[in-house]
């Protein structure tokens, strides 16, 4: 088969959570002959259990976690027609996990953690191969660490893209014509051969990297939601699925809190111009969202995203009046504390800003340490407001169109808008509102702009 015919399909944890989910995912794989390479996450829940084990647990808790892992994977094995061989293999993995977590209890390390955590994907891929074989499909297990070479930043390793391309061409490409290749997301190996991981949720990234390396025609990300929505359907039941969206819009949405695709994830697909499809393996017939370089007639308003628990810092200083270097000083202090600024507005004698919490599990208030506040206070008067929410309106040509302000803010009368950012990007307009009003704001705006 020619490379340009290839589709790389990735299935997330819920899509390989149990026997039925794995079979539904197998149906999806088998429905399209172009799908020749399958990338899997660990079965849902497994990675969290492994991470907990890597933190060093005492004997009793370790036993509990190991039992849980065994229970989840055995539930799949028990429904196979010929479970014996695969049970042995999984048992060996679980023994490994037990030994590694015993070591972790004595002294843990990031390298050990990655070695331990990688077993989730190693097991799910072994099980999936077995499911396919029982369905009389030629399927082959492939250890992704043979091609996914990374640096040794354990827990957040960066792949060597050039090496991946070479290795994928020599080791993976020739196999694609012979059997369905099943491989692991999330994991890699560094130059000494030790196992690394690409960061939580890294399987999407693996799929995009492999798609790029093999020059795939499409990357399919199968998850538990049928695509990208105009806003979170849990907040607005009338939210609509977006059939087609550009990479730029999707990245903006992810940056502002939409959970479907992480922006860094799709980077390899973006730079190689490979479309990414997002759909639900529970309901493949429902379709999904195609993320691509360009879409026909991109609308002015595309989607609404919400980021909660924002912290606003307002810095007042009379020294700012007609002075130079005040902002430079402020940014210097923030940089020294490893903080990047997210939103910002300024006036003659003050500046208001929020702290960037993208890609971290921290909230604004936890980034705001006493040391940082003390340092800022020596420069200016500092005011801190917590529990705000950032509402981001994603769209196209927003900063060049007329009437945007009226359409958006005309319906916001009853809400306090604490800060507005508009004009820096053609793709977004965002503002802060009190946290308690956030959902009502989203509902009101969605109703007037999208329904």
Give the interface with ligand ASP as residue ranges (CB under 6 A). 12-13, 41-42, 47, 120, 185-186, 200-203
Q: Which is nearer to ligand ASP, 41 or 150 (CB)?
A: 41
Partner from Mg ion, ligand ASP, none binding residue 79, C-beta < 5-8 Å depending on class: none
Q: Return the beta strands (E) in 12-136 as ranges.
A: 35-40
Residue 42 touches which member of Mg ion, ligand ASP, none, C-beta under 5-8 Å by kind: ligand ASP
Query: CB under 5 to 8 A by kind: which of ligand ASP, Mg ion, none does 120 bind?
Result: ligand ASP
* Nearest Cα to Cα of residue 363 among 342, 334, 333: 342
Instruction: List helix spans (H) across 168-316.
Output: 173-176, 203-213, 247-255, 263-272
Q: Which is nearer to ligand ASP, 39 or 353 (CB)?
A: 39
**What tokens were used for 104?**
């972790």
Looking only at the bridges linking them, the beta strands covering 180-184 and 195-197 are unpaired
**Nearest approach, Cβ of 47 to Mg ion (angstroms)?**
7
Q: How near is the Cβ of 150 to ligand ASP at its closest, in Å?
A: 14
Query: Which of the choices ligand ASP, Mg ion, none does residue 200 contact, using the CB cut-off of 5 to 8 A by kind?
Result: ligand ASP
Nearer to ligand ASP, 184 or 357 (CB): 184
Nearest residue (CB) to ligand ASP, 41 versus 310: 41
CB of 186 to Mg ion, least distance (A): 8
**Residue 195 or 203 having the CB closest to ligand ASP:** 203
Question: Whole-number minimum distance, CB 144 to Mg ion, in Å?
Answer: 15
The Cβ-side half-sphere exposure at 202, using a 13 Å CA radius, reads 24
224: which DSSP letter? S
Q: Is 276 exposed, middle or buried (0-12, 13-18, 19+ CB in 10 A)?
A: buried
Of the pair 207, 242, the CB lying nearest Mg ion is at 207
Instruction: For ligand ASP, give the closer residue by CB, 203 or 289.
Output: 203
CA distance readout (Å), 160 to 148, 155, 173, 191: 7, 16, 18, 11
Q: How many CB atoms lie within 10 A of CB 106?
A: 7
Q: By CB under 5 A, name the binding residues for Mg ion.
A: 12-13, 41
Sign of torsion over alpha carbons 16, 17, 23, 28 = negative
| Residue 94 CB, nearest approach to ligand ASP (Å) | 17
- Reported in sequence order, the residue ranges of 190-299 that DSSP labels E, i.e. its strands, are 195-197, 218-223, 244-246, 276-280, 288-292
Q: Which does 47 bind (CB under 5 to 8 A by kind): ligand ASP, Mg ion, none?
A: ligand ASP
Give the CB-nearest residue to ligand ASP. Answer: 203
């Amino acid at each position: 088969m020619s490379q340009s015919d290839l589709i790389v399909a990735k299935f997330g944890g819920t899509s390989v959570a149990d026997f039925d989910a794995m079979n539904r995912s197998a149906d999806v794989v088998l429905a399209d002959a172009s799908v020749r390479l399958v990338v899997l996450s660990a079965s849902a829940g497994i990675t969290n259990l492994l991470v907990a084990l890597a933190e060093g647990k005492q004997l009793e808790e370790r036993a509990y976690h190991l039992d849980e892992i065994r229970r989840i994977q055995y539930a799949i094995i028990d429904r196979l027609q010929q479970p014996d061989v695969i049970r042995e293999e999984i048992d060996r993995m679980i023994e490994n996990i037990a030994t590694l977590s015993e070591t972790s209890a004595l002294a843990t390390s990031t390298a050990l953690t990655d070695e331990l955590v990688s077993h989730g994907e190693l097991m799910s891929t072994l099980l999936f191969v077995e499911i396919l074989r029982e369905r009389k499909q030629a399927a082959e297990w492939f250890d992704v660490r043979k091609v996914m070479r990374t640096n040794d930043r354990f827990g957040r390793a960066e792949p060597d893209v050039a090496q991946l391309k070479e290795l994928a061409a020599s080791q993976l490409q020739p196999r694609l014509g012979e059997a369905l290749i099943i491989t692991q997301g999330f994991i890699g190996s560094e130059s000494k051969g030790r196992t690394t991981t690409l960061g939580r949720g890294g399987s999407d990234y693996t799929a995009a990297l492999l798609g790029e390396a093999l020059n795939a025609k499409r990357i399919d990300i199968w998850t538990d939601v049928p695509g990208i929505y105009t806003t979170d359907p849990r907040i607005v039941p009338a939210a609509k699925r977006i059939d087609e969206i550009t990479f730029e819009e999707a990245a903006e949405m992810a940056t502002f809190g939409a959970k479907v695709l992480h922006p860094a994830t799709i980077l390899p697909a973006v730079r190689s111009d490979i479309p990414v499809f997002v759909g639900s393996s529970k309901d493949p017939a429902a379709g999904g969202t195609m993320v691509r370089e360009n879409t026909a007639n991109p609308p002015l308003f595309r989607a609404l995203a919400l980021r909660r628990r924002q912290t606003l810092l307002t810095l007042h200083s009379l020294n700012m009046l007609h002075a130079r270097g005040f902002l430079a000083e402020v940014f210097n202090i923030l940089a020294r504390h490893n903080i990047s600024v997210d939103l910002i507005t300024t006036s003659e004698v003050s500046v208001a800003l929020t702290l960037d919490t993208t890609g971290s599990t921290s909230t604004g208030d936890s980034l705001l340490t006493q040391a940082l506040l003390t340092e800022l206070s020596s420069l200016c008067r500092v005011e801190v407001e917590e529990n705000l929410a950032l509402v981001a309106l994603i769209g196209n040509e927003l900063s060049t169109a007329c009437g945007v302000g009226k359409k958006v803010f005309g319906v916001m009368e009853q809400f306090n808008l604490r800060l507005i950012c508009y004009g820096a990007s053609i793709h977004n307009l965002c503002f802060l509102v009190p946290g308690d009003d956030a959902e009502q704001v989203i509902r009101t705006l969605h109703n007037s702009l999208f329904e």
